[in-house]
Amino acid sequence: MASLSLHLPHHRLGRTCFRPIVAASSNGAPFSEIKKRGPFVLEIPLDKIRRPLTRTRANDPVKVKELMESIREIGLQEPIDVLEVDGIYYGFSGCHRFEAHQRLGLPTIRCKVRRGTKETLRHHLR
């Protein structure tokens, strides 16, 4: 069975980062196989996340400003949820946190990634 350890916490400029690391694997299973079993947390560049529902509603500018201040002071506390389909990331939640990161000029955002099929993606787009 592959073992997985996390560096907890790793402080860098006031932010806590969690980085998955493969410690050892008795059966030779690569880390990519471990990730297929359930959601995992990853830092993803903002420009790699598609936001297909951004035109359906506007973000509350007061909430975005408050999040910007919080993220600047203590970092992102809750990752956004993204769906990964065929190597492409789709964000359907965390709109305010995503915009706050954009406005702060941050290159990446912490995401809870779930893998899905094209059918799952079509379901979310309905």
Within a domain: 56: yes
Residue 67: per-residue pLDDT: 97
- Averaging pLDDT over each range in 8-12, 18-22, 117-121, which range is the top one? 117-121
94 Rama sector, left if φ>0, alpha if ψ -120 to 50, beta otherwise = left
Within a domain: 106: yes
Domain that holds residue 75: 40-125
CA separation (Å) from 89 to 21, 59, 114?
22, 21, 9
What the block records as the tokens of 66 is 């408050």
Within a domain: 113: yes
Within a domain: 63: yes
> Could you tell me the pTM of the whole model?
0.69
Within a domain: 105: yes
Q: How many domains does the chain have?
A: 1
For residue 53, the domain's CATH number is: 3.90.1530.10
Within a domain: 107: yes
